[in-house]
Amino acid sequence: MTTGSGLELDEVTVRHDGPLGPVTAVDRVSLDVPAGTTVGLVGESGSGKSTLARAVVGLDPLYGGRVAVGGREYGGRRAAERRGLGRQVQLVFQDPETALDPRMTVQQSIAEAAGAFVRLDRRDRARRVAGLLEQVGLDAGCAGRLPRQLSGGQLQRVAVARALAVDPAVLIADEITSALDVSVRAALLSTLRDLQRRMGFAMLFISHDLTAVRHVSDTVAVMYLGRIVETAATEHLLQGPCHPYTRALLSAVPRLHPGGSPPDGALPAGEPPDPASPPTGCRFHPRCPVGPDRLPGRDVCAVRDPQEDSGGRPHRAACHFPHLADVRLPQARSVLREENGAATAPSGG
């Protein structure tokens, strides 16, 4: 990964204690989010996206790996270090009502954040709050209101303003548009992009809404069962996914699917495996439309971890057969028959 400004995650691992032993919720995740760019992080519920976000800001302890902001590594072991990370990285939660004190006005909430790391007198704080409200598209009249007096879209804008009050290097947005209607969602996404252009922060945008991800992200990373299984520039990934899981996610949103027609089975069959006992080999193989359960002879999927040599494949796809991600099951069988025939045919001479 490159060094310098922005967010760098290197082999980040998070483990939790489960009833039957430790559970690896995030497994050796590496991501680079340069300053001024957005990486969209997508995947099903329970894939580890929010756990990763909490680990980056220090709310969940790291079991392994490193988090660096602006080239400086944060281990989170000392109070002063955690405080420094708090200024550098800000997290906006899915539900702003839980993040804002119901007893504090908008003015008080943002002013409290603005003065957390820099001493400001009353006049400077008022000026700072007014400027932030304007930047996030709220009128000055919102300053004296309590959270219960605001709409969901207004609350989320206040949460964004509060996060940006400390001029962070990195903003993490965790499902912040999921509870908003379409028009409000679109306006908030446009505001985020405008703010990023002006302020230059790196953004990790976590969402299950692929339309929203496409609108704001320069790069998309796909997460499954605690791991990143595919990463690529947004349009490259949406137009030519290399991992069967990514293909399945895109198929659930027809307007994003290349050609407009979903493949056989719009969503992966079955439920994600238990993270306390993940499958051997490829973690997706029990649900994969072109895996060993549906295409005999591909036992490697159940035996060898495709993550090990993913760096040499397009989109760093954690799949032994990424060339089959874009074909229907009958076609895949045909392709594999041809490959098997070529492999066993005698060479000419």
Block residue for tokens 């057969």 = 321
Per-residue pLDDT at 349 exceeds 50: no
| pLDDT value of residue 73 | 86
The mean pLDDT of 139-168, rounded to a whole number, is 93
The pLDDT value recorded for residue 80 is: 60
pTM of the model as a whole: 0.86
Enumerate the domain spans of the chain.
Answer: 6-217, 244-343
Which tokens belong to 86? 């708090």
Q: Describe the strand order of the beta sheet including 89-92 as a list of residue ranges.
A: 89-92, 170-174, 202-206, 38-42, 219-224, 227-233
- List, for residues 63-103, the tens digit of each pLDDT value: 999 999 988 887 655 556 666 677 899 999 888 888 899 99
CB of 189 closer than 8 Å to CB of 176? no
Q: Which two tokens stand for residue 167?
A: 């001029």
- Written in H, E and C, the secondary structure of 109-129 is HHHHHHCCCCCCCHHHHHHHH
Mean pLDDT taken over the chain? 83
Task: Name the CATH superfamily, with its identifier, for domain 6-217.
Answer: P-loop containing nucleotide triphosphate hydrolases (3.40.50.300)
Ramachandran category for residue 65: left, alpha or beta (phi over 0 → left; psi -120 to 50 → alpha): left
| Residues 52, 242 contacting (CB under 8 angstroms) | no
CB 191 within 8 A of CB 132: no
Q: Report pLDDT digits (tens) over 259-285.
A: 444 444 455 667 788 888 899 999 998
pLDDT one-digit tens code per residue, 32-44: 999 999 999 999 9
* Rounded Cα gap, residues 154 and 323, in angstroms: 45
According to DSSP, residue 307 is labeled G
Nearest to 230 by CA among 248, 211, 251: 248
Q: Which amino acid is at 170?
A: V
Q: Residue type at 163?
A: A
> Could you tell me the two tokens for 203?
């953004």
For residue 105, give the 3-state DSSP assignment. coil
Q: What is the pLDDT of residue 269?
A: 67
Question: Using one digit for the tens of pLDDT, what is the confidence trace for 95-116?
Answer: 888 889 999 999 999 998 887 7
Closest to 202 in 3D by CA, of 88, 83, 54: 88
Q: Can you list the alpha helix ranges (DSSP code H) found in the chain? A: 49-56, 79-88, 96-99, 106-114, 122-135, 152-164, 182-199, 210-216, 234-239, 244-251, 300-303, 329-344
What letter does residue 285 receive in the DSSP assignment? G
pLDDT band, very low/low/confident/very high, at 256 (cuts 50, 70, 90): low
- Using the structure block, give the residue that is written with the tokens 């692929």: 210
